[in-house]
């Protein structure tokens, strides 16, 4: 069986935001086993799984991405939407826009320290939409 749910996330400032609980609250009851696929329907934000205990991990990851792809670099030609737009597209390509997570025992089979993160790469990205598909 396949079940889909649209999840509209609230606007978030630039950074990595733990959204595991927001996703779980939006989902129907999970099957005993299966897969959850999350797809972010945007090209200037990303999804990742990472450490959910120490917030300095989020700050360090954001810093790494900002050093790899800085805002306002003079080599960018896609600049009409602001100095953070082209870098946000590049960061999305690096991080990705989807995740697949196993379901076991009616729960997401995340590791002890794993959480689902929205990576907001824009200063003002607005509301973000996720398409969640549960396969059982």
pLDDT in single tens digits along all 136 residues of the chain: 999 999 999 999 999 999 999 999 999 999 999 999 999 999 999 999 999 999 999 999 999 999 999 999 999 999 889 999 999 999 999 999 999 999 999 999 999 999 999 999 999 999 999 999 999 9
Domain extent for 99: 2-72+79-135
How many distinct structural domains can be found in the chain?
A: 1
* pTM confidence score: 0.95
Q: Which of 131, 128, 112 is nearest to 49 (CA)?
A: 112
CATH of the domain at 32: 2.60.120.460
**92-112: burial string, b at 16+ Cβ within 10 Å, e else:** beebebebebebeeeebeeee
End-to-end CA gap in the chain: 5
């Amino acid at each position: 069986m396949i079940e889909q749910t649209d999840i509209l996330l609230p606007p978030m400032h630039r950074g990595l935001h733990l959204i595991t609980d927001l996703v779980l609250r939006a989902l129907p009851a999970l099957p005993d086993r299966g897969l959850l696929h999350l797809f972010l329907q945007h090209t200037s934000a990303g999804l990742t799984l990472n450490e959910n205990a120490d917030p300095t991990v989020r700050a360090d990851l954001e810093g790494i991405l900002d050093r790899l792809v800085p805002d306002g670099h003079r080599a960018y030609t896609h600049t009409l939407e602001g100095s953070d737009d082209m870098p946000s597209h590049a960061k999305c390509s690096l991080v990705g826009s989807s995740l697949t997570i196993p379901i076991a025992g009616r729960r997401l089979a995340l590791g002890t320290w794993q959480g689902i993160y929205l990576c907001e790469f824009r200063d003002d990205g607005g509301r973000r939409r996720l398409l969640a598909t549960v396969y059982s």
